[in-house]
Amino acid sequence: MRNLLTKAVAVGAAAILALGAAACSGGREGGSGGDSAKPAKGFAANSLIGVALPSKTSENWVLAGDLFVSGLKEAGFTSDVQYAGASTTVADQQAQISSMITKGAKVIVIGATDAAQLSTQVAQAKQSGATVIAYDRLITNTPDVDYYIAFDNFKVGQLQGQALLDGMKAKKATGPWTVELFSGSPDDNNSGVFFNGAMDVLKPLIDKGDVIVGSGQSDVKQTAIQGWKAEGAQQRMDSLLTSTYSGKKTLDGVLSPNDTLARAIITSIKGAGKPIPVVTGQDSEVESIKSIMAGEQYSTINKDTRKLVAETVKMVKTLQGGGTPEINDSKTYNNGVKVVPSYLLPPVIVTKANAAEAYANDPKLSPLVK
């Protein structure tokens, strides 16, 4: 894994790097690097904190923005919370980060729209004395990321792969099972990490012939959905149904990286009049929880945004006081230049069976699973 990443970096082509980094980061080897973040010196309690989020491709981003506004205010900071627009996402985010630097932000929290396109901005942020925190999505190909805070994304992928298998086994005790694989946007570093995590579970079964990828499309590049767009997933599923499942072949399961794509995949399958296979997801979106309770989508992942934002605000508060934020992982998330000191939270797999328990403490979601 590291060799491939090194090669991609050496080649230097942005497109290859984006894919290579997406496919390879999240590798479990540590590599060189380690905790290279310098101790912060502290800053005024009402300082400006910048938060640059990607476009609103899923509910968790909408929630995160709202929670950052309220959480940073409560902690005494001034905040500038921005989303990249829907189409010119990279340029938007680059401009937003530059403006946060100009305004004197002391910490810049970034959910990258394109992992590999922010090195200039984060270098400028560091030069201005700001601390850079990669939020949920790693920023690649730069030494200028101080911390990474996220749910363990490789684990998310493993849980999705295992849920796919469990769901298919519950319907048909023995294989071979026929599946299709989907992954997220290639410019989001998480996409490759989720996919690698899922393949960590699925690949041994694919190699044995117990799991068959019906279309043969099992490379992350073939499965990617640009911009995490529902339309893209629906179109790809439509064409897979035509190319591969127009005859008698049964589709047992679909690996979907998130809920938005899962619902688009289910819409496509229903539209073709086919039975709904086991479909995985992620994000605990309201419509997907309803779908799970109705017996359509099989699983989702609970990554409680409230916790992730609260931990990030805690990190900012520690930096403000001149302390060193707590990290709990210093070997997993290699961004191609260094292993970024990380604080990782554990994701939880949710199916109809454990939904009530999983959302017991969530006033918005618990009424949906009673």
Looking at the Cβ atoms of 60 and 223, the one nearer to ligand BGC is 60
285 binds ligand BGC (CB under 6 A): no
312 binds ligand BGC (CB under 6 A): no
Q: Please, what is the minimum distance in Å from the beta carbon of residue 113 to ligand BGC? A: 10
Stretch of residues binding ligand BGC (CB under 6 A), selected from 54-62, 127-135, 243-251, 350-358: 54-62
For ligand BGC, the binding residues in 184-203 under the rule CB under 6 A are: 184, 188, 190
- Closest to ligand BGC by CB, 289 or 319: 289
* Tokens encoding 164: 């796919």
Task: Note whether 263 binds ligand BGC by CB under 6 A.
Answer: no
Q: Report in angstroms how near the CB of residue 351 gets to ligand BGC at its nearest.
A: 18
Closest CB to ligand BGC among residues 60, 93: 60
Among all chains, which residue has been given the structure tokens 């191609």?
Answer: 336
**For residues 137 and 155, which CB has a smaller minimum distance to ligand BGC in the complex?**
137
Count of CB atoms within 10 A of residue 331's CB?
16
Binding flags for ligand BGC, 137-176, as an x/- string (CB under 6 A): x---------------------------------------
Label each residue of the chain as H, E or C. CHHHHHHHHHHCCHHHHHHHHHHHCCCCCCCCCCCCCCCCCCCCCCCEEEEEECCCCCHHHHHHHHHHHHHHHHCCCEEEEEECCCCCHHHHHHHHHHHHHHCCCCEEEECCCCCCCCHHHHHHHHHCCCEEEEECCCCCCCCCCCEEEEECHHHHHHHHHHHHHHHHHHHCCCCCEEEEECECCCCCHHHHHHHHHHHHHHHHHHHHCCEEECCCCCCHHHHECHHHCHHHHHHHHHHHHHHHCCCCCCCCEEECCCHHHHHHHHHHHHHCCCCCCEECCCCCCHHHHHHHHCCCCCEEEECCHHHHHHHHHHHHHHHHCCCCCCCCECCCCECCCCECCEEEECCEEEECCCHHHHCCCCCCCHHHHC
Q: Which stretch, 183-191, 312-320, 322-330, 338-346, contacts ligand BGC (CB under 6 A)?
A: 183-191
CB of 285 to ligand BGC, least distance (A): 9
Q: Is 258 in the site for ligand BGC (CB under 6 A)?
A: yes
Query: Which among 14-22, 52-60, 203-211, 264-272 is the span making contact with ligand BGC, rule CB under 6 A?
Result: 52-60
57 binds ligand BGC (CB under 6 A): yes
Interface residue with ligand BGC among 136, 146, 180, 252 (CB under 6 A) is 136
Residue 60 binds ligand BGC (CB under 6 A): yes
Q: How far is the CB of 195 from ligand BGC (least distance, A)?
A: 12
**Does residue number 228 form part of the binding site for ligand BGC (CB under 6 A)?**
yes
| Contacting residues toward ligand BGC, per CB under 6 A | 57-58, 60-61, 136-137, 184, 188, 190, 228, 258, 282-283
